[in-house]
Chain A
Amino acid sequence: MQSLVVNTKHLWRVWRASLRAGLIREMEFRGNFIAGLIRQILFLGIFVFFINVIFQNTEQLAGWQQHEMLLILALSRIIEGVINLLFTESIMRLPEAVRDGTFDFYLIRPLPAQFSAAFRRPGVDNFGNILVGLILFAYAISAMTTFPSFSSIGLLLFLSALGITIYYSLLILVSSLVFRLERLEMLWAFNILFSEPLTVPFDIFSRAPRFVLTYLVPIAFVVFVPAQAITGRLQWSQIPVAIGIAALFLTLANLAWRAGLRKYSSASS
């Protein structure tokens, strides 16, 4: 147990150093950083406009009111922001690292190779997404007739952490293919497929796609299920399912990663 705490502290220190390096790197191109922040604000504005137009044509979308849709949008910005801040960019660079041989350096560092591959380069420009998401979240909550209880906020945080774990596991699962295939340029396409549906309530889907997105590619747990928790729609039976799916996919991802590592042969040797 003590070694686990020491290891976690060590990884946390390494990640903080990576974050600091990322911030310094971004500040070298300050104009680009500010342009990125403005783009994130405008992107949120586009989605708010999208929701506004939807509700000019209907009073509810599959049972979700306008302020609840704004809540889903806010959560998607915050959770996607955290996901992109933590690991997306690093994982997306994995095929390049394997191809040009720099992955060798991950293997010789005194760190788990998966940690180096996934958390080496924090996407610091995503602070904008998180910030605007939090502002919209506060607005959407204030528009609700009853303020959510502390237990539902706690549940929201817990389920969001599980959702982020599931998203991480999905990315590690597909990125492990890079050790078997010679190239994996399509990793970005997987990320698009996993992230695009996060801004909508999954109630709009018919039974078959909903089943796929809940159990087979369980991105329903990333934003939609936490949104159900904060809006009082969550069935208690979904909590153990969320925990089980997060544990299952994390295990599968680690098994796929280890199996992939055994297949790895250096491109630079």
Chain B
Amino acid sequence: MPSAAKIARTFSMEWSRLGQYRADVILWMIAETAIPFLSLAVWYTVALSGQTGPTPQEIVTYYILIAFIKIATDSWGGMFLTYEILDGDIVKDLIRPIWPMWKKIANNINEKTIKLIFPTLIGITVLLLWPNIIDTSLLTTPHLLLAAASLILAIVLAFVLDITLGLIAFWLEDAFQIRRYKFMLEYVASGLIIPFAVMPPIARTLFEFLPFRYVLSFPAELALGQAEGARALEGFGIQLTWTIGLLILSWLMWRAGLKRYAVPGR
């Protein structure tokens, strides 16, 4: 077990590194909110036609929450892990006196701290300038507390899922293609381009068993009171099962991967 000082030092080093990439961080943050805000434009237009489904206010509230959750749960460490495994760079981290994943965790948490400023400011601005555009009556304290608990689990789940996919590089050279499939599934099965509130029943049932909903849509559904009582409990159960399952799987993959790993020449 590494000492708290080593972990703190890792966080401090990653924070310094972040300073070098500040322009990149800001632009990535804007890019990450592009899809939620595009989807907002589409579904807001649909809601204005007023035929079925959520109201325009519900759609705006949902997508502002989604933009925030998307940045909070975003994870990229697995992609870099794939690179590091494939080109042998991971060796540099393996010889350090701290578990390499601490570096990924520190990088993830530090970067998100900065990235979350943007959607938070948008949320506050929208609330101040157009208070009626958001349905604040839905955001009750019990809903928000449940959403916060789910968001913490979602952050862990997203990180572990990302790292698990990154670890595939120990066995497979085409690990990036699998990431692209994950990216594609995230689009549709997480509530990003289609809110679960308007999803056809068959697709909804299918996607409820995949992990992607619990990374993005589920905390927002809890905040809006769309998942209450037994549905909320069921959601938490699936979210926790995926998180623990992937934690165990990634740990086993890390150990098994290291045993068979042969570093490409450097």
User: Is B180's beta carbon under 8 Å from chain A?
Assistant: yes
Which B residues are in CB contact (< 8 Å) with A46?
A: 184, 187-188, 193
Whether B28 lies near A54 (C-beta < 8 A) is: no
Shortest beta-carbon distance, A58 to chain B, in Å? Answer: 4
User: Is A259's beta carbon under 8 Å from chain B?
Assistant: no
Which A residues are in CB contact (< 8 Å) with B44?
A: 204
User: Is A56's beta carbon under 8 Å from chain B?
Assistant: yes
User: Is A111's beta carbon under 8 Å from chain B?
Assistant: no
Whether A36 lies near B45 (C-beta < 8 A) is: no
Shortest beta-carbon distance, B154 to chain A, in Å? Answer: 22
Which A residues are in CB contact (< 8 Å) with B20?
A: 183
List the B residue with the shortest CB-CB distance to A34. Answer: B177
User: Is B199's beta carbon under 8 Å from chain A?
Assistant: yes
Q: What interface size band does chain B fall in? A: 20 to 34
User: Is A186's beta carbon under 8 Å from chain B?
Assistant: yes
Whether A53 lies near B200 (C-beta < 8 A) is: yes
CB contacts under 8 Å to A, within B143-201, are: 173-174, 177, 180-181, 184, 187-188, 193-194, 198-200
Total A-B contacts with CB atoms under 8 angstroms apart: 89
Contact with B along A221-263 (1 / 0, CB 8 A): 0000000000000000000000000000000000000000000
Whether B200 lies near A57 (C-beta < 8 A) is: no
Which A residues are in CB contact (< 8 Å) with B90?
A: none
Which B residues are in CB contact (< 8 Å) with A39?
A: 177, 180-181, 184
User: Is A193's beta carbon under 8 Å from chain B?
Assistant: yes
Of A50, A186, A188, the residue contacting B194 (CB under 8 A) is A50
The interface on chain A, measured as residues whose beta carbon lies within 8 A of the other chain's beta carbons, has a size of 34
User: Is A35's beta carbon under 8 Å from chain B?
Assistant: yes
User: Is B137's beta carbon under 8 Å from chain A?
Assistant: no
List the B residue with the shortest CB-CB distance to A63. Answer: B45
CA of A56 to CA of B30, assembled, Å = 31
Shortest beta-carbon distance, A89 to chain B, in Å? Answer: 13
Whether A192 lies near B31 (C-beta < 8 A) is: yes
Whether A62 lies near B198 (C-beta < 8 A) is: no
CA of A189 to CA of B25, assembled, Å = 10
Question: In this complex, which of A29, A185, A204 has the most chain B Cβ atoms within 10 angstroms of its Cβ?
Answer: A204
Which A residues are in CB contact (< 8 Å) with B31?
A: 188-190, 192-193
A50-B41 contact in complex given A32-B174, A39-B180, A58-B51, C-beta closer than 8 Å: no
Of B27, B38, B49, B187, the residue contacting A197 (CB under 8 A) is B38
CA of A54 to CA of B46, assembled, Å = 7
List the B residue with the shortest CB-CB distance to A56. Answer: B200
CB contacts under 8 Å to B, within A148-201, are: 181, 183, 185-186, 188-190, 192-193, 196-197, 200
Whether A204 lies near B42 (C-beta < 8 A) is: yes
User: Is A100's beta carbon under 8 Å from chain B?
Assistant: no
Of B24, B42, B173, B187, the residue contacting A186 (CB under 8 A) is B24
List the B residue with the shortest CB-CB distance to A32. Answer: B174
User: Is A205's beta carbon under 8 Å from chain B?
Assistant: yes
Which A residues are in CB contact (< 8 Å) with B1?
A: none
Whether A57 lies near B180 (C-beta < 8 A) is: no
CA of A231 to CA of B17, assembled, Å = 50
CB contacts under 8 Å to A, within B6-38, are: 20-21, 23-24, 27-28, 30-31, 34-35, 38
Shortest beta-carbon distance, A179 to chain B, in Å? Answer: 15
CA of A204 to CA of B39, assembled, Å = 10
CA of A236 to CA of B134, assembled, Å = 40
A54-B42 contact in complex given A31-B174, A186-B27, A193-B30, C-beta closer than 8 Å: yes
User: Is B237's beta carbon under 8 Å from chain A?
Assistant: no
Question: In this complex, which of B44, B173, B184 has the most chain A Cβ atoms within 10 angstroms of its Cβ?
Answer: B184
CA of A35 to CA of B199, assembled, Å = 27
Of A190, A193, A196, A204, the residue contacting B45 (CB under 8 A) is A204
Which A residues are in CB contact (< 8 Å) with B173?
A: 29
Question: In this complex, which of A53, A181, A185, A190 has the most chain B Cβ atoms within 10 angstroms of its Cβ?
Answer: A53
Whether A57 lies near B177 (C-beta < 8 A) is: no
Which A residues are in CB contact (< 8 Å) with B3?
A: none
List the A residue with the shortest CB-CB distance to B195. Answer: A53
Whether A42 lies near B46 (C-beta < 8 A) is: no
Which A residues are in CB contact (< 8 Å) with B193?
A: 46, 50
User: Is B53's beta carbon under 8 Å from chain A?
Assistant: yes
Whether B28 lies near A186 (C-beta < 8 A) is: yes
Whether A53 lies near B174 (C-beta < 8 A) is: no
User: Is A61's beta carbon under 8 Å from chain B?
Assistant: yes
For the complex of A and B, 9 pairs with smallest distance between CB atoms: A189-B31, A186-B27, A186-B24, A58-B49, A189-B27, A192-B31, A32-B174, A204-B45, A46-B188
> With contacts A50-B193, A183-B21 known, what are 6 further pairs, Cβ within 8 A?
A35-B181, A36-B177, A39-B180, A189-B30, A189-B31, A204-B45
